[in-house]
Chains A and B, each alone.
Chain A
Amino acid sequence: MSNHASTLVRLSKSGASVSQEEWSVLTLAQFAEGSLDTHCAAPQKRLLPLTVWLEERDALIADATHPIGVWLDSHEDPAAIAEDLPSLAVVGVNFPSFKDGRGYSTAYLLRQRYGYTGELRALGDVQRDQLFYMKRVGFDAFQLKAGASIEDALTAFNDFTVSYQGSIDQPLPYYRQRLLQRAAGGAE
């Protein structure tokens, strides 16, 4: 994962837009090298690796001068931060490769099981053609892989206008939406 800011796409009710990146994603290696101190008062918003968060969480919550973010790697269990979610402004989920699909389940669990409502950000190998599914499972911010075309990415959320399954963006499978429409006398 690279820690330099790349393009961030945010989804809101009014649609997808490009955002100024304010957060830096810090890696475990950076802490291990000692180049970073957890408590340094750098005036920036930082997304911390899970291990650092778990070690320092009480102190970090206590001196909450900045909003806090944590990111999970693809093998890390979202249950580990379930209790902390109210304290977090951003949760990141890393896709080491876009072929590693664990992050989709992680996102679903964070939203559905653990009730997380803050920003959920896809990090790592995040590309245009994965955005639609990422949106469906609850991501609302996407740090695109370097070099990605923004114009392309902004259209990706409209690849499909209807889906069969329920997920986070629309909990009802189409078969239940259809029944509701019928009950309401609406057209199909």
Chain B
Amino acid sequence: MADFVSSAFVWIPKMYRYDPIDQKIVDERVAQFRDQTRRFLAGTLSEDDFRPLRLQNGLYVQKHAPMLRVAIPYGLLSSRQLRMLAHIARKYDRGYGHFTTRQNIQFNWPTLASVPDILADLATVEMHAIQTSGNCIRNVTSDQFAGVAHDEVVDPRPYAELIRQWSTLHPEFAYLPRKFKIAVSAAAEDRAGTWFHDIGIQIYKSASGEPLLRILVGGGLGRTPILGHELHPGLPLPHLFSYLDATLRVYNRFGRRDNMYKARIKILVKELGVEKFRAEVEAEFAFLKDGPSTLPAAEFERVANHFIDPEYRTLPGVSRKFEQHLIDDRAFSRWVSRSVSGHKRAGYAAVTLSLKTTGSAPGDATDTQLDGVADLADRYSFGEVRVAHEQNLILADVEKDQLYALWQEAKAIGLATPNIGLLTDIIACPGGDFCSLANAKSIPIAQAIQRRVEEKLGDLDYLFDIGDISINISGCMNACGHHHVGHIGILGVDKHGAEFYQVTIGGSQGNDAALGKVIGPSFAQDEMADVIETLIGTYVNLRHEDEQFIDTVHRVGIEPFKAAVYPNGRTQEAKEPADV
């Protein structure tokens, strides 16, 4: 394992570090799964019986090979952990990994027999794949700018870590009706998609400064996309786990199990109505409130103390060096305009490294890039890295003085494409190239759009002129690419065995979360780049000054876009086989 240990100075980042108990739980989990895998390979554990067990350890059986999804709790990684991911990509996979829209990483080519060893390697750097799949409480997600965002009310990471611990191997909720996802946000802008989770938690402060938790329930994308409902307007922190236990118990007992498409909590909430659902939860909570699961302040402090600020230097707000580089180097200033975001500390900035280079699959990173980012993190950002839902990586604490040097190094490893938030920063699930649930491929659509932008639409000026826009691609209704909330959403559908794509526009994430509207019949794969080009062209023709794509859609509605994409009022499906 020596090959992932760098001789460079390694920071101990300010993030949660396992104590002997945390380590023991993860180690025992590895031993348990090793034994389960052994029994499966020996034929004493059946395929059906093994499936839920391997899923709860992140292991899917995909088209070509098993796929292992490794948990990156709330998207936070140390450089040491990142080097381990590089090591795993090299040793057990084909030299790359795929970052997902839920801040996790997937390896597409491990062998089943090697998975216990991978999990053991992960455990040495305080990582695991527990509950990254299966009908259980999944890995908790949060704001990728947690701890550094200037609009933050409190740091959501201690809350997320406590939820990670509470949900890990929870004995009562391992065989839920369906998967269960929790997201935590504690900033003015919701960057965690709390409205679209089974449970969304928004933390704010009461008038007296006490943190309160607004609990949302029953949101989600997938087959039945829906915004969550407010379940509790302001839960005091000590009751968090009693309240979550109550909510999960109601779902575990009464959620539908007869139809997997109706098994998510959102359907239960919808069928009961949120008032009735809340009454059930409150009745359950009444038995648990102030009981043994009440969270003591000392425990919150213990966890919160892991997330203190790194050793920031006192810096001037304006870096003259940085300002000069902005003037001298246009390519640098362009990259800065897309990739660098604000920071709560004067003289610091957060940097997003793009995993959306034309020609690569969105969210993919090679082992060399992973090692490279780990080195950059050690040298520029206190040894810490974050994974964004948009499938990019973030160095959250970079001195402005250092941005120019960082940019040059990031460029050298192919991670400085200046396209964050632009047309080519496409969010895509692995789709039909890897995923056995897919109706259609996602990656070739993303690549076709990126190539079209590069070849036909010309240079960067055009890309910058189009401005902020999100394209989200999912290969099926499971919506791993979050297509419903893309400004342009693309969904793979199956038409009589052929791969087609349905297009929505007007979706958005964050505080103004909204679901996109379908513009009409679906398209064949080779039509998609044209369709996107037409949608963009329509926006460019219609926009008012300074209007972004989504603003124009809000102002004019979807009709002009429809008219442009279906010029003859086409209502039939494109290129449908003649015999159906």
List chain A positions with a Cβ less than 8 A from chain B.
Answer: 98-102, 104-106, 108, 112-113, 127, 129, 132-134, 136-137, 149, 152, 159-167, 171-176, 178-179, 188
Contact = CB atoms under 8 A, between A and B. Distances in A.
B459 interface: no
Interface of B: 19-21, 24-25, 28-29, 31-32, 36, 39, 44-45, 49, 52-53, 135, 165-166, 168-176, 241, 249, 252-253, 257, 287, 292-293, 295-296, 298-299, 302
B25 A164 contact: yes
A-B residue pairs, 9 tightest by C-beta: A101-B175, A136-B171, A133-B171, A175-B299, A104-B172, A171-B292, A164-B165, A166-B292, A159-B32
A95 B548 CA distance: 54
Given A160-B25, A167-B171, A105 B249 contact: yes
Contacts of B176: 101
B336 to A, nearest CB: 43
A163 B36 CA distance: 20
Contacts of B241: 165, 173
A137 B171 contact: yes
A167 B173 CA distance: 12
A175 B175 contact: no
A169 B132 CA distance: 26
A109 to B, nearest CB: 8
Nearest to B20: A188
A161 B24 contact: yes
Nearest to B29: A160
Contact of A105 (B31, B36, B252): B252
A164 B171 contact: no
A137 B295 CA distance: 20
Contacts of A165: 166, 169-171, 241, 293
Contacts of A159: 28, 31-32
B175 A98 contact: yes
A111 to B, nearest CB: 11
Most chain B CB neighbours (cut-off 10 Å) among A136, A137, A149, A176: A176
Nearest to B303: A175
B293 A166 contact: yes
A173 B135 contact: no
16 contacts: A98-B175, A101-B176, A102-B252, A102-B257, A104-B172, A105-B172, A108-B249, A133-B171, A160-B169, A162-B21, A164-B170, A167-B172, A172-B292, A173-B166, A179-B298, A188-B20
B174 A129 contact: no
Contacts of A162: 21, 24-25, 28
A164 B49 contact: no
B257 A179 contact: no
A171 B294 CA distance: 11
Contacts of B19: 188
A167 B39 CA distance: 29
Contacts of A149: 44
Nearest to B168: A164
Nearest to B165: A164
A104 to B, nearest CB: 5
A113 B287 CA distance: 8
Q: Is the interface of B mostly helix, strand, loop or mixed?
A: helix
B21 A174 contact: yes
A134 to B, nearest CB: 8
A173 B292 contact: yes
B172 A137 contact: yes
Contacts of B287: 112-113
Given A101-B172, A104-B172, A167-B171, 18 more contacts: A98-B175, A99-B52, A99-B135, A101-B135, A101-B175, A101-B252, A102-B252, A105-B253, A113-B287, A129-B45, A133-B171, A136-B172, A152-B39, A160-B29, A167-B172, A173-B166, A174-B165, A176-B299
Nearest to A125: B49
Contact of B295 (A102, A108, A127, A175): A175
Contacts of A99: 52, 135, 175
Most chain B CB neighbours (cut-off 10 Å) among A112, A113, A161, A162: A162
B296 A100 contact: no
A132 B171 contact: yes
A105 B252 CA distance: 7
Nearest to A165: B170
Nearest to B299: A175
A129 B253 contact: no
Contacts of A163: 25, 169, 171
A28 to B, nearest CB: 19
Given A129-B49, A176-B296, A101 B25 contact: no
A149 B165 CA distance: 32
A129 B53 contact: yes
Contacts of B295: 175
A179 B32 CA distance: 28
Contacts of B249: 105, 108
Contacts of B299: 175-176, 178-179
Contacts of B52: 98-99
A10 B531 CA distance: 65
A47 B45 CA distance: 29
Contacts of B25: 160, 162-164
B252 A104 contact: yes
A136 B334 CA distance: 57
